[in-house]
A and B are shown apart, each in its own frame.
Chain A
């Protein structure tokens, strides 16, 4: 093979296969470049950065929606798990699904920052560059097909996140939170990198697809569990990779950064951090699990089963600690920060159920996870968006200052009610369906291992607990009379803010009532993962 041939193949592959599939990410990149150039040439004074961001995000979303049809419309997949960029990325239904979710999320996010005005005009380009950079990282996370890519994508998501947390200059709390997040993140990155190098070194490849093929040649050759050194190294490496991802997902005991970072950050950034990196990290977790433990052999299935049980325990701990901590909060932002920890626990149930049950029953867990993620994007961003909107109107994030807001901001408070119901998991909000799906999947996984039943019991108790603190927010808004009613007189939500709240909460309700369309898609995505 001559050098020209190689180069030709590379170019043909890149131009004809990779780039067209990668169009949404390219638009995000282009937006970043335009934002930065605008700063350089001073055009950001003519065209507001936030408009550049909104247009960029919308175009990226449109491009991702364009791919929806080719994957899902026919009901079968014309996309044959295409590997992009010499196998570093993969283009499959999960990629497209996550791309649509994340790009849609980016549109809503830019809309939110435009409404709440958190970056002022001066900081706009920097802020949006960081926001888009982090989202780009999340997009790459969701489609990584290589351990190195996995690490780079995780870092690309995290590093702008550190800066975004400390973005409110001059606020001591923000700086402290950013530093904590950074140090913690650096430690987790080290662990993740160490894990990837152990796995890659043992198997001689970093490609997730290759890993899946080579695992059976390493695991279970000697009799007994973890009998060979290679097997042990792989398991330790996997443990470290899981720990690195657990950091991104804020799972116990890697969750410490989350409440501090969220409290230091503005509500908008907290909303961002609680959704985009987490959703992407779940997609990545699924890919890693499928790569490491997806092979069709007894010993590997045992490993998957054991890791699944481990994740179930982590899931139970995560939701319990998150909920207990949320219980005592008087600051709404901190309350929701803890509640997102709890939700990572519920979402993890889907993965655990998949890993424990395996086969057809396990697919239900994945379906539930993907459905839950779609609802989660709306309900969690919705909650944080509403906190931001209320903060702009009342200059407070304390529950007590929410008293009687109902009368002044009916749509915003109605939105909060929908988000809270959904987070609790009460019909007709979509959170009910998501929760139901992962609960049901875990229950049927209980036939394989009763630990899953214990997990469901823990989740049910947690759901009841969560009722108490979510209800406190609603109670303040709807039932309590304000201490200072004059202060409320001037409060009002702008039409744009109201429109945003509707855009965030109506889908939550729709996902609760019209389940079939999306559940068909998630079932398809889940099936495509397992192949």
Chain B
């Protein structure tokens, strides 16, 4: 129950935020921060109690018919994420209160932010895969609101759209994968599925489920080739970028991979795909960082790099890799959060994030520069920052990878070099050098704008200095949850001279060298922009355009607006289907005596056919109507011949009325003319004849059915005994089917009233002409 309350608390408070804004004014962010802070404090008591893989669970049925239950579970992995989400969430609330001060929609902003927190907490605490999916989609939704918050800007719109479409499409893939998994494993509860892991992995649908789930995770975590949406989403307000696009939402995919790796991992498909995609993303992210001059853009690409690294580590599936992933996750949250927030402060003060316009900012914003430096050192992996530990542990994991280790190590080192240089780009370039014009007009950030990033940066330093005290209690249970057994963890800065340390030092040195010459290197990297034309973002655009073209074509083709086309299609379909069946099974007509035609029947039939032909060929409306009337009377004659006198009567009267209606309608019709050409009429004739032939065959087929006694025999038999009448026609009309006759009379009167009204409407006009 506690878990449920914790998850739903931010959402419950969210609608009140506009009201809070009215009363709290400038402090609305601080008030909003109280909720995630309370959650963080509440969950902090679990730190140190979940190390051996224990967990706290809550379960309640929601939609039992489809296996959807509201079940939550808190274990080490969840705890790490919960603390990140709530802790950084509280800080971001405070920061955003300063960053967006004065915005008139601040209330709804915090409302969306809190709703987003519920969605994130739901994802990391969900025990049921469907519940997880539900919260997953909820993040898509709330993030859409947050990204488009500054929606006056064109870029924000397009970005919000692209992010929404990409992640929502991925989400639907995830849903399909989850449902498949549920069908395979017979449950949607993650722990139950893990117990049946072997059966799941051996199932023939396992690959499909894996691929679908990976698509969901990869789109969410901006893995190559879906990475394009993340840099574009940087149009969002900076606190949102820091929170969603660095600390929490993009990590949901990584979380999902970590959560499901005991269930789905270990197979070739999983290992190769996840590791491979992660490694490619890791390199692509850092390379692309050098194509951007926007500080946030660079940070976004570097975030893609980290997400790739984490994915790669989870794909490796070793104990070392799991450890490294969790350490790196924590380190990244601290330093990248700080850098994003620093960028926000710079943007706020200098009204620019463009590296070409910013230099020498340290003269105007010394405090901010210091914080940026602290964070960047951690990012570059310099002793004694926590980032150093992270870098060393992941290099260690890669070096000891069970397969492909030389390739992965090479990729990791290349990426590390570029990350170091990237750290220089965001933390050195804007702050050092000569004072630029924009920078000159800047001023030191307000309290909230430097205090919050400072907290994060200092935490990064503290965790590096005292890893065993501060970081291990968080990381250890998380690793235990992934690996499935308690893993004793010893975090320390100095391991002696090892291969990872050597690689780390090489990367650092090469990175610094690269940064020094980055202006020259940039032109090389700019070349990768050409790839952009063929890159995934372009596929996205081209895909949308292609779909558009196909859609227009098919609509124009099928939905032409011509009734004639529509009728042609429906008639051809019907005749085709029925004809197909008839030809498929052949025709077996039952020889019956009744099939023999008597001469007066022949005359009736001939008359009908001839009249129908005249009606079609006629160039005079009157003649056509008269011919149609003859068809009608012919039909009633047939009714008489085959024992339906009441039907015949009704038919005759209806025919008469219809003819009258036709005649009245003539007054309003334009001059008769033939509008169709010969070819069209030929086509119509073919269509009409084939429909007619098929229908005739069908009737002949139906006459072969002799299941039940015809009603006429019943009438003949019972006329005298039941109704005491010898005139069968009379008996049928007024006795057996008296109610029918009553109904027919009513219908006829109604039709007559209709004709009367018609006459009244038309007569004056007709009289004049």
One of B175, B552, B578, B588 near A328 (C-beta < 8 A): B552
Query: Complex Cα distance A217/B706, Å?
Result: 12
Bitwise interface map of A from 457 to 496 toward B, beta carbon under 8 Å scored 1, else 0: 1001001110110010001001111000000000000000
Closest to B706 in A: A230
Bitwise interface map of A from 177 to 199 toward B, beta carbon under 8 Å scored 1, else 0: 00110011001100100100010
B566 at interface by CB-CB < 8 Å: yes
Residues of A within 8 A of B704 (CB): 229-230, 233
Are A468 and B701 within 8 A (Cβ)? no
Closest to A259 in B: B559
* Given A327-B548, A428-B138, A437-B66, A203-B165 contact (CB < 8 Å): no
Residues of B within 8 A of A257 (CB): 566
The A interface, classified by DSSP as helix, strand, loop or mixed, is helix
Are A515 and B585 within 8 A (Cβ)? no
A260 at interface by CB-CB < 8 Å: yes
Residues of A within 8 A of B165 (CB): 467-468, 471
* Given A440-B179, A479-B160, A253-B570 contact (CB < 8 Å): yes
Tell me the chain B residues, 692-706 only, with Cβ under 8 Å from chain A. Answer: 695, 698, 701-702, 704-705
Are B151 and A478 within 8 A (Cβ)? yes
Are A230 and B707 within 8 A (Cβ)? yes
Are A463 and B172 within 8 A (Cβ)? yes
Beyond A184-B563, A321-B558, A516-B64, 8 extra complex contacts between A and B, CB < 8 Å: A183-B567, A236-B578, A236-B701, A239-B581, A328-B552, A463-B172, A471-B165, A479-B148
Residues of B within 8 A of A364 (CB): 65-66
27 contacts between A and B (CB under 8 A): A183-B563, A187-B571, A218-B707, A229-B701, A229-B705, A230-B704, A230-B705, A232-B585, A233-B701, A240-B578, A243-B574, A253-B569, A256-B558, A256-B570, A324-B550, A328-B552, A421-B141, A427-B133, A428-B134, A440-B66, A443-B180, A443-B183, A464-B168, A467-B169, A471-B165, A479-B161, A480-B157
Are B701 and A232 within 8 A (Cβ)? yes
B156 at interface by CB-CB < 8 Å: yes
Are A198 and B183 within 8 A (Cβ)? no
Are A239 and B160 within 8 A (Cβ)? no
Residues of A within 8 A of B701 (CB): 229, 232-233, 236
Query: Complex Cα distance A468/B558, Å?
Result: 21
Tell me the chain A residues, 483-531 only, with Cβ under 8 Å from chain B. Answer: 515-516, 519, 523
B547 at interface by CB-CB < 8 Å: yes
Residues of B within 8 A of A519 (CB): 63, 65
Shortest Cβ gap from B560 to chain A (Å):
9
A426 at interface by CB-CB < 8 Å: yes
Are A426 and B554 within 8 A (Cβ)? no
Residues of A within 8 A of B62 (CB): 515-516
A254 at interface by CB-CB < 8 Å: yes
One of B134, B554, B578 near A325 (C-beta < 8 A): B554
Residues of A within 8 A of B61 (CB): 516
B753 at interface by CB-CB < 8 Å: no
Closest to B698 in A: A236
Are A465 and B161 within 8 A (Cβ)? no
B269 at interface by CB-CB < 8 Å: no
Are B570 and A187 within 8 A (Cβ)? yes
Bitwise interface map of A from 434 to 461 toward B, beta carbon under 8 Å scored 1, else 0: 0011011001100000000000110010
Closest to A520 in B: B65
* Given A260-B561, A426-B168, A479-B156, A233-B547 contact (CB < 8 Å): no
* Given A188-B570, A230-B705, A328-B548, A471-B161 contact (CB < 8 Å): yes
Closest to B708 in A: A204
Residues of A within 8 A of B65 (CB): 364, 367, 437, 519, 523
A235 at interface by CB-CB < 8 Å: yes
A150 at interface by CB-CB < 8 Å: no
Residues of B within 8 A of A243 (CB): 573-574
Residues of B within 8 A of A392 (CB): none
Residues of A within 8 A of B649 (CB): none
A413 at interface by CB-CB < 8 Å: no
Closest to B549 in A: A328
* Given A233-B702, A460-B172, A239-B161 contact (CB < 8 Å): no
A288 at interface by CB-CB < 8 Å: no
A208 at interface by CB-CB < 8 Å: no
Are B577 and A239 within 8 A (Cβ)? yes
Are A479 and B157 within 8 A (Cβ)? yes
Residues of A within 8 A of B554 (CB): 321, 324-325
Residues of B within 8 A of A198 (CB): 698, 702
Are B544 and A468 within 8 A (Cβ)? yes
Are B563 and A180 within 8 A (Cβ)? yes
Shortest Cβ gap from B108 to chain A (Å):
10
* Given A202-B702, A218-B707, A325-B559, A478-B567 contact (CB < 8 Å): no
Bitwise interface map of B from 684 to 720 toward A, beta carbon under 8 Å scored 1, else 0: 0000000000010010011011011100000000000
Query: Complex Cα distance A183/B707, Å?
Result: 35
Query: Complex Cα distance A240/B699, Å?
Result: 13
A65 at interface by CB-CB < 8 Å: no
Query: Complex Cα distance A443/B208, Å?
Result: 13
Closest to A197 in B: B702
A433 at interface by CB-CB < 8 Å: yes
Query: Complex Cα distance A457/B208, Å?
Result: 11
One of B151, B544, B567 near A184 (C-beta < 8 A): B567
Shortest Cβ gap from A239 to chain B (Å):
6
Query: Complex Cα distance A516/B548, Å?
Result: 40
Query: Complex Cα distance A361/B577, Å?
Result: 30
Query: Complex Cα distance A268/B728, Å?
Result: 53
Determine which residue in B61, B550, B577, B705 has the highest number of CB atoms from chain A within 10 A of its CB, and name it.
B705
Q: Nearest 3 pairs between A and B by C-beta?
A: A204-B708, A327-B551, A256-B566
Are B581 and A235 within 8 A (Cβ)? yes
A298 at interface by CB-CB < 8 Å: no
B555 at interface by CB-CB < 8 Å: yes
Are A478 and B164 within 8 A (Cβ)? no
Tell me the chain A residues, 259-287 only, with Cβ under 8 Å from chain B. Answer: 259-260
B137 at interface by CB-CB < 8 Å: yes
Residues of B within 8 A of A427 (CB): 133-134, 137-138
Are A443 and B151 within 8 A (Cβ)? no
B140 at interface by CB-CB < 8 Å: yes
Shortest Cβ gap from B737 to chain A (Å):
13
A66 at interface by CB-CB < 8 Å: no
Tell me the chain B residues, 619-656 only, with Cβ under 8 Å from chain A. Answer: none
Shortest Cβ gap from B568 to chain A (Å):
10
Residues of B within 8 A of A78 (CB): none
A201 at interface by CB-CB < 8 Å: yes
B510 at interface by CB-CB < 8 Å: no
* Given A183-B563, A256-B570, A426-B168, A202-B547 contact (CB < 8 Å): no
Shortest Cβ gap from B400 to chain A (Å):
40
Closest to A421 in B: B141
B590 at interface by CB-CB < 8 Å: yes
* Given A327-B548, A427-B138, A475-B161 contact (CB < 8 Å): yes
B152 at interface by CB-CB < 8 Å: yes
Shortest Cβ gap from B93 to chain A (Å):
23
Residues of B within 8 A of A194 (CB): 695
Bitwise interface map of A from 226 to 253 toward B, beta carbon under 8 Å scored 1, else 0: 1001101101100110010000000001
Are A229 and B161 within 8 A (Cβ)? no
Residues of B within 8 A of A217 (CB): 707
Query: Complex Cα distance A226/B701, Å?
Result: 13
Tell me the chain B residues, 558-602 only, with Cβ under 8 Å from chain A. Answer: 558-559, 561, 563, 565-567, 569-571, 573-574, 577-578, 581, 585, 588, 590
B176 at interface by CB-CB < 8 Å: yes
Residues of B within 8 A of A235 (CB): 581
Residues of A within 8 A of B63 (CB): 433, 515-516, 519
Bitwise interface map of A from 288 to 330 toward B, beta carbon under 8 Å scored 1, else 0: 0000000000000000000000000000000001001111100
Are B705 and A426 within 8 A (Cβ)? no
Shortest Cβ gap from B167 to chain A (Å):
11
* Given A198-B702, A475-B161, A240-B574 contact (CB < 8 Å): yes
Query: Complex Cα distance A424/B581, Å?
Result: 38
Closest to B180 in A: A443
